[in-house]
Amino acid sequence: MTDPIADLLTRIKNALRVRKKQVIAPYSKIKVGILKILRDKGLIRGFKIEGDVKKNFIIYLKYDENGEPLIEDLKRVSKPGRRVYAGYKELRPLRRGFAFRIVSTSRGLITDEEARKRKLGGEIICEVY
């Protein structure tokens, strides 16, 4: 697998489309940061790590009262073949603040809003609509 982050985002998107309650994905440290941001924003119910030798995530998805997913789309921006970097001044709000980016900075993974507040730039990992 050449892009494990894109794999995680695709697994979540596909599970949301078929209204699954949970999805399993392979473990990595950067994925922990992405899932923590999604959990803190209230877009997933949570996640847990299972396994000793081969670790996996079990991600619990969240829907609104009508059964519609809270995440409209997840889009991978920076890819292994083309990295995308931005300074904090270039991180403008998406959809007038209703969407956000996850940015990898020297302080770890944070949202674009937090990066602007802290005046940090970095690699744009993905966009969440």
Q: What's the CATH number where 121 sits? A: 3.30.1490.10
pLDDT at residue 74 in the model: 97
Q: Which residue has the tokens 């985002």?
A: 9
What confidence score (pLDDT) does residue 41 get? Answer: 97
Domain identity same for 46 and 92: no
pLDDT in tens, 2-43: 999 999 999 999 999 999 999 999 999 999 999 999 999 999
- Report pLDDT digits (tens) over 70-106: 999 999 999 999 999 999 999 999 999 899 999 999 9
pLDDT, average across residues 108-118 = 97
Q: What integer pLDDT is reported at residue 1 of this predicted model?
A: 81
What CATH number is attached to the domain comprising 34? Answer: 3.30.1370.30
Query: Number of folded domains in the chain?
Result: 2
Residues 6+ apart with CB under 8 A from 121: 85, 86, 87, 88, 90, 91, 103, 105, 115
Considering the domain architecture, whether residues 54 and 89 belong to the same structural domain is answered as: no
Asked whether residue 49 falls in the same domain as residue 88, the answer is no
Has residue 69 been placed in a domain?
no
Interhelix angle 29-40/4-17, rounded to 10 degrees, is 40
User: Could you tell me if residue 40 is inside a domain?
Assistant: yes
What's residue 92's pLDDT? 95
66 within some domain: no
CA angle 25, 103, 9 (to 5 degrees): 25
Q: pLDDT tens, 37-47?
A: 999 999 999 99
Q: Are 53 and 18 in a shared domain? A: yes
User: Which residue segment(s) compose the domain that 24 sits in?
Assistant: 4-61
- The answer to whether residues 88 and 50 belong to one domain is no
Mean pLDDT in residue range 95-124: 97
Strands (E), the chain: 22-26, 44-50, 56-61, 74-76, 85-86, 100-105, 108-111, 122-128
Phi-psi map region of 19: left, alpha, beta (phi>0 left; psi -120 to 50 alpha) = left
48 plus 94 within the same structural domain? no
**The tokens of 40 are what?**
């803190």
C-alpha pair distances (Å), 95 with each of 71, 87, 98, 99, 129: 14, 19, 5, 6, 8
Strand pairing class (100-105; 56-61): unpaired
| The pLDDT of residue 45 | 98
Q: Rounded mean pLDDT of 60-78? A: 97
> Does residue 119 form part of some domain?
yes
